[in-house]
Structure 1
Amino acid sequence: MFDEPRPELVWTSVRDGIYQGGQIWRKVFATDPEQIPRVRHLVRTLLNTQAETAEYIVSELATNAVLHARGTHFLLEIATLPRGIRLAIYDQGGDGSPSFIPTAAIALGQHGYGLQAVAQLSARCGLSGNPETGHVVWAELDAL
């Protein structure tokens, strides 16, 4: 279906020990709506457990990057850890910042439900960065 069934393995452990015993994969995607199925496919290929939930989460995070961030690319990071799975999207910033807190747009029925769903499905979620330098938006799923 896709040319690249497996991403390149970047690290098997991170030097500060936070990800000991885990693996981290990173892949850059174009900020194009047609890339969202590829993001989902990559998650499905890499994860044996919780793949359906993880696919939904990265789909929402990647869609936000495609719709709201500037730049031509975003980065997907998948970390499998002894305590669970960490999913993150790094973007190049843009107008405004993502928020897991309900906004007026949700009250008006316009948009903004995706990150609310991510917050409900994940054990932990968060973001850092700013519109000028870029954001990382992440979610974690506990091990089953």
Structure 2
Amino acid sequence: MSRTPQEIFENYVYSGSLTRNADALAETFTPDGVLEAPLLPAGGAFPRRLVGREEIRRAMAVYYEQLAKDGRAPNLEKTGYVLHTTTDPDVFIAEIDTVFDGDEEDVTISLVQIFRIRDGKIALLRDYFAPELVS
């Protein structure tokens, strides 16, 4: 039984953004999977391009360790997303508005992610968001 885009997306978000578990996140990808953030400059806090489960695991563990010092977590009651399927059954798009509680007002981070799936795992994820959000 193949997994739905909803299941794949929710597993990815839970493993990454919610629990910051680099091992679990890496397992959402195919062994040769690619995680890209094309709008980011190379050498930033968030990796621009990671190839393969092991590179994803290592780099995201370092990134999550840096995030732990920040202490910010998304407000799940205010955060929302919409998934869009495409004519290609192996591609779907997520539109996400992640909301963080702010001191004076909430901070909303809007992003788009394009997923290419193979055998129920992420073969390619392109994550489009503003570079200043991870500096």
* TM-score of the aligned structures, taking structure 1 as reference length: 0.30
User: If each structure's strand is expressed as a fraction of its own residues, which one has the higher value?
Assistant: 2
* TM-score of the aligned structures, taking structure 2 as reference length: 0.32
Of the two structures, which has the highest relative contact order with CA contacts closer than 8 Å and spacing of 6 or more? 2
